[in-house]
Amino acid sequence: MSDEASRPFFGPGGTILFLGKEGESAYIYEIKDDGTGKKRVIPDPVIYLIAVSPDGRWVIAYVPYHGEETTTALVAYPMGDGSKQLICSVCQVTGPRNPGGPMLSWSGDQKSLYFKSILQGMGRNTLRIPLRSGEALPRLPGSGLQSDRDLLAFGQFYGEVEIINGLRFRSQVSVEFTGNNGYNYHKANANSNLILPNGIDEYYGWGVNPLLENYFSFNKHAGIHQISATLGNTYRKGAIGRSVSLSGSNFPNDDLKSVIAAPSSRITGGFVGQSALLSYFARVNYTLMDKYLLTASIRRDGSYVFSKDSRFGNFPSVGLGWKINEEGFMKGLPILSQLKLRVSYGKSGNSNIPQLVPSVWKGQSNNIVYSLGDAKDYAQGATVNSAVNPNNRWETTKQFDVGLDAGFLEDRVILSLGYYDRRNEGLLTYVPLPLSTGIGGPYDNPGSILKNTATASNKGIEVSLGYQGSVGGFRYSLNANVAHNTNKVISLGEGTAFQRGGVAGGNLATKTDKGHPIGSFYGYVVDHVAVDQADVNAHNAIAESTTGKTGTLFQADLIPGDIIFKDLDGDGQITSKDQTFLGSPIPKWNYGANVNLGF
């Protein structure tokens, strides 16, 4: 009857419910007290089945929003006759294997409020079951066998030669090999009149990561001058990895634990990836009279994740240092063992982003159709699901630092003070596209494209103080540090503010917007807890008086014991307009201390 099925849970009226899948379709099977069963097949490609409503009328499920696994629609399917109902058209999923809270915005219409009450009342019937290809369903407890193996091997070969006095050349090649495989075998088990067959899930994967490095190094000390320099490049091409996941079931016995021996088997998932990196770098360190310091470097990095015209980025940096304690006017301070002023400025880049490719969604169950031909017959169509921006480039960070390092009592006491100003530019964010572009999915939701459009900043100070000493053979050190940081979004460019982080009740806990810290907590401000029904009635009376409409509620579904939120916009009702920024998830102050003891 099915490929896989979930553990049972209770439905309305004492019935027993199972969630499962057949091929690419999902189903819910209801077993009644008299032993009869009813099966409802979900026609769409389901990512997660939630469960059924308390009245047994609806099956709630996450389905892909125009083909993407990271963004979903929340849809209700009837157990009996009727049409499916869209609950929300854009529901965020925090990760490909971790469902997040739906991005629900209850409009106040009867359909929205009805499904809101369903989700809030599902209680113990709520059960998230993964049904996307490549994921195994939770199963009944039972005997089985599981095995996982990982292999890592690393090899390096190098050669080095001194060309002239102080000038050396080194070339080295390293290769990293990885491998993994495993399986999970489960025996057949039964519950009520549903039998779950024995089966196995297997996976295999490997990876090769080669790296070639070549560089010159130079060191020279001549009188009051000391210089060291490095010039070279790194090259990685051919780094590749592959993996495949398989499953099999209905073995004639429990001795053959291999998918190749299964009467029915299939590939449930797979992955192939490759990477390439080319870098050139140069660095020089110069010291004059052992008290004036200069460090300068530049990198030119190219990454495979960008298009040809945007593949390379240049990242220079420079730093200056002054050993003030080496100056003649400081020689009369024996308590001071070191005093150095340092300042630096540099630029770095980030290419740690997914390699994006355009995708097409072919639809399901005739939800994308075109009328073609003389007969005007409907034909299954397709739509562009997502677009790729060929102009994406490196995200860059520009940072300025200034600091002072001091040592006292022959460096038994060390003090360090620092200030930094870090600016992140060209941060990648999603920019909405108009429907007229033809990019986007069902439910009239526009598509989006990833662009280097946002800017953020971090500014702060850092202070550390340490003391070290010894008594005989006993050594000890005490260190303390404190830092203050201010994070802020400078601009979102063409992008728009976005919310993330699903919490109970269908709200999203964070919002990123201009002028606020990244991922700021966002929501309603608590006023107080409703004491009794008189308190609830008093607030509803305020709502009626403010709006001038009889029957207007101050806060939907408010009962004694619930939290009452503040009406920030003063319209007499709690709506999404009453949400505000509540605080930063990034601590302003960080501090710590440690003690080290040794013999």
Q: Which tens digits make up the pLDDT trace of 136-164?
A: 333 333 446 778 888 899 999 999 999 99
The residue range of the domain holding 99 is 4-130
Same domain for 97 and 172? no
- Look at residues 267, 288, 309 and tell me which one is the last residue of a structural domain: 288
Burial degree of 509 (CB within 10 A; 0-12, 13-18, 19+): middle
- Look at residues 130, 163, 186 and tell me which one is the last residue of a structural domain: 130
Same domain for 104 and 149? no
Cα–Cα distance, 231 to 298 (Å, whole number): 10
Same domain for 91 and 217? no
Same domain for 31 and 121? yes
pLDDT at residue number 194:
54
The number of domains in the chain is: 2
pLDDT at residue 592 above 60? yes
pLDDT at residue number 362:
62
- Residue-wise burial string across 180-193, b where 16 or more C-beta atoms lie within 10 A, e elsewhere: eeebbbbeebeeee
Find the range with the poorest average confidence among 61-75, 119-133, 421-435, 509-523. Answer: 119-133
CA distances from 3 to 37, 96, 135 (A): 18, 22, 12
pLDDT at residue 123 above 70? no
Same domain for 169 and 36? no
Same domain for 164 and 59? no
pLDDT at residue 534 above 80? yes
Structure tokens at 274: 């490759």
In a domain, 321, yes or no: no
Q: What percent of the chain clears pLDDT 90, i.e. is strictly above it?
A: 42
In a domain, 254, yes or no: yes
In a domain, 489, yes or no: no
Residues near 565 by beta carbon (within 8 Å), at least 6 away in sequence = 524, 525, 526, 527, 555, 574, 578
- Look at residues 130, 158, 193 and tell me which one is the last residue of a structural domain: 130
Strand-pairing partners, residue 149, are 181
What is the secondary structure of 341-366 as a DSSP string?
Answer: EEEEEEEEEE--S-----EEE--STT
Same domain for 100 and 170? no
pLDDT at residue number 97:
32
- Mean per-residue pLDDT for 431-439? 78
In a domain, 339, yes or no: no
Strand-pairing partners, residue 191, are 194
Find the range with the poorest average confidence among 324-338, 388-402, 584-598. Answer: 324-338
Same domain for 233 and 211? yes
